[in-house]
Structure 1
Amino acid sequence: MWDKIVEYLQFPPVQRALIVGILIALCASLLGVTLVLKRLSFIGDGLSHVAFGALAIASVLKVTNNMLIIMPVTVLAAVLLLRPGQNTKIKGDAAIAMLSVSALAFGYLLMNIFSTSSNLGGDVCSTLFGSSAILTLSDIDVGICISFSVVVIIAFVLFYNKIFAITFDENFSKASGVKTGSYNLLLAVIIAVIIVLAMNLVGSLLISALIIFPALSAMRIFNSFKRVTICSGIFAIICALVGMFISIIAGTPVGSTIVAANVGIFVVCSLIRLVKR
């Protein structure tokens, strides 16, 4: 089995897939801790459905680079959902749920009405649950992913203290002079970028797992924000590698296998916590 893994690692498509998978999983895990603590775990699911709707629009319009439509639409949705001081009557989880199901239904409706594909069911299933498309990434795709991932990691490191502050006590941070609105906007943009990048890895319906599971697993073991964040990143990378290797060797779906690995890590961490108690 090890010889088979080494053999696969010699192929450039596999190398590109591993680079993209590790970077996406790491970025998702960094923001996952903040989203879990702010009770916004479900926002990843909502934005992924918005991205699916935007992808349907790009497909109908036959846009060559669908990122030109998916990225702005998802960023706009994230900003609307996370904007501070909302005075609307529809807030929180209700707004996320409404936007989520509307975008999902609208996207599927468009694909049914205007699609020219002979295998619409297969295309939709691949988009929602992930496919082997990550093994067909070009050098340009990898370059875009690396660029966005580096920006996300640098932004998280530079504004770590501010993100920490607004995560635990946003009202006190605002009273202390922290521009909470600006940092919430930064979080919204970063989350949207991660969602769009992760679509090729695990599909629209499974993106939340990359955000939630590493953070929850790390919280089973550690109590410190910094330790949880670091441990979450490590768990995310391990699960991405294990899931992708198993997927390549056994021929299982990439997204589902990575999520299964995350679930396994969570169960192990829960058992460790139980034993420590």
Structure 2
Amino acid sequence: MIEKLIFYMGYPFVRYALIVGVLIALCSSLLGVTLVLKRFSFIGDGLSHVAFGAMAVASVLNITNNMLFILPVTVVCAILLLRTGQNTKIKGDAAIAMISVGALAIGYLLMNVFATGPNLSGDVCTTLFGSTSILTLKIEQVWLCVVLSVVVVVLFIVFYHKIFCVTFDETFAKATGIRADRYNLLIAVITALIIVLAMNLVGSLLISALVIFPALSAMRIFKTFFSVTVCSVVLSVCCAISGMLLSILAGTPVGSTIVAADIVAFLICCMIEKIAGGK
């Protein structure tokens, strides 16, 4: 098995996939704790469906670099989602459901009406659940992922204290002069960036798992915001690496294997919590 891994690591596309996988896992876990605590976990699910719809439109328009189209569309929808969720007539969960289902339906409709390839079901399945696309990355895509990941990490570090305040007590944050709406908007935009990055790794339907599972796992063991965030990052990166390596060795779908590794990590953390609680 080790020899097989060494053999595969000799190929550049495997190294590219591991680099991108680690960066995506790192970024998604950073904001996962905030989204879970703010009870906005499914914003990732909603935006992933929006990204699927944008990808369908990009394929219909024959846009070569669809990232240049998907990224701004998803960011704009993240802003609209935040604004709509603040509407008293349409609550946050209803806004997410409305936008996500609508985008998913329109995307699938466009892919059917303007089919660009002979294997429509295969294209849809690959986009929704992820496939081997992470193993066919070009060096330009890797660099784009690196740049966007650095932007996400820098923004999180620079505005860490503001994000912390908005996460735990938004009313108190506003009372102390923090413009909570601005930082909620920042969280939504960063989440949109992460969603677009993660589509090639796990597909549209599994993106929420990268955001939710590491945060929930870390919360089983640690209690402070900082320690939970750090633990979430470590767990997410470890699960991404182990999932991708196992996928390469066993020939299983990359996205599903990574999510399965996240589930195993969550169960282990639950066991640790029970053992520690029993003491």
Query: Could you tell me the TM-score, scaled by structure 2's length?
Result: 0.97
Number of corresponding residues: 277
Report if aligned partners of 1:84, 1:181 keep a CA contact under 8 Å in 2. no
Give the corresponding residue for 2:104. 104
Report if aligned partners of 1:83, 1:184 keep a CA contact under 8 Å in 2. no
Tell me how far apart the structure 1 counterparts of residues 85 and 29 of structure 2 sit (CA, whole Å).
27
SS at match of 1:40: coil
User: For 1:141-184, what per-residue CA distance to the aligned partner results, in whole angstroms no more than 9, with x for missing partners?
Assistant: 00000000001001101111000000000111011001111111
Give the corresponding residue for 1:147. 147
Tell me how far apart the structure 1 counterparts of residues 29 and 51 of structure 2 sit (CA, whole Å).
19
Give the corresponding residue for 1:202. 202
Give the corresponding residue for 1:23. 23
Q: C-alpha displacement at 1:127, in angstroms?
A: 0.3
What does 1:108-257 align with in structure 2 at a 5 Å threshold? Answer: 108-257=108-257
Q: C-alpha displacement at 1:5, in angstroms?
A: 1.2
Tell me how far apart the structure 2 counterparts of residues 65 and 85 of structure 1 sit (CA, whole Å).
31
**RMSD (Å) for aligned C-alpha atoms:** 1.1
Q: C-alpha displacement at 1:86, in angstroms?
A: 2.5
Report if aligned partners of 1:47, 1:77 keep a CA contact under 8 Å in 2. yes
Tell me how far apart the structure 2 counterparts of residues 143 and 63 of structure 1 sit (CA, whole Å).
20
Tell me how far apart the structure 2 counterparts of residues 81 and 53 of structure 1 sit (CA, whole Å).
15
Report if aligned partners of 2:243, 2:261 keep a CA contact under 8 Å in 1. yes
User: For 1:211-266, what per-residue CA distance to the aligned partner results, in whole angstroms no more than 9, with x for missing partners?
Assistant: 00000000000001000000000000000000000111110000000000000000
Give the corresponding residue for 1:79. 79
Flag the 1:85–1:18 CA change in 2: closer, same or farther, 3 A: closer
Report if aligned partners of 1:84, 1:184 keep a CA contact under 8 Å in 2. no
Q: Which letter does structure 1 place at the counterpart of 2:209?
A: A
Q: C-alpha displacement at 1:116, in angstroms?
A: 2.8
Tell me how far apart the structure 2 counterparts of residues 102 and 85 of structure 1 sit (CA, whole Å).
16
Query: Could you tell me the TM-score, scaled by structure 1's length?
Result: 0.98
User: For 1:25-59, what per-residue CA distance to the aligned partner results, in whole angstroms no more than 9, with x for missing partners?
Assistant: 10000000000000000110000000000000001
Report if aligned partners of 2:44, 2:207 keep a CA contact under 8 Å in 1. yes
Q: C-alpha displacement at 1:85, in angstroms?
A: 8.3
Tell me how far apart the structure 1 counterparts of residues 136 and 62 of structure 2 sit (CA, whole Å).
20
Tell me how far apart the structure 1 counterparts of residues 37 and 85 of structure 2 sit (CA, whole Å).
19
Runs of 4+ in structure 1 off by over 3 angstroms are none
Extract unaligned runs of 5+ from structure 1.
none
Q: C-alpha displacement at 1:84, in angstroms?
A: 8.8
Seq. identity, %: 66
Q: Which letter does structure 2 place at the counterpart of 1:216?
A: L
Give the corresponding residue for 2:51. 51
Tell me how far apart the structure 1 counterparts of residues 116 and 241 of structure 2 sit (CA, whole Å).
36
Q: Which letter does structure 1 place at the counterpart of 2:39?
A: R
Report if aligned partners of 1:247, 1:254 keep a CA contact under 8 Å in 2. yes
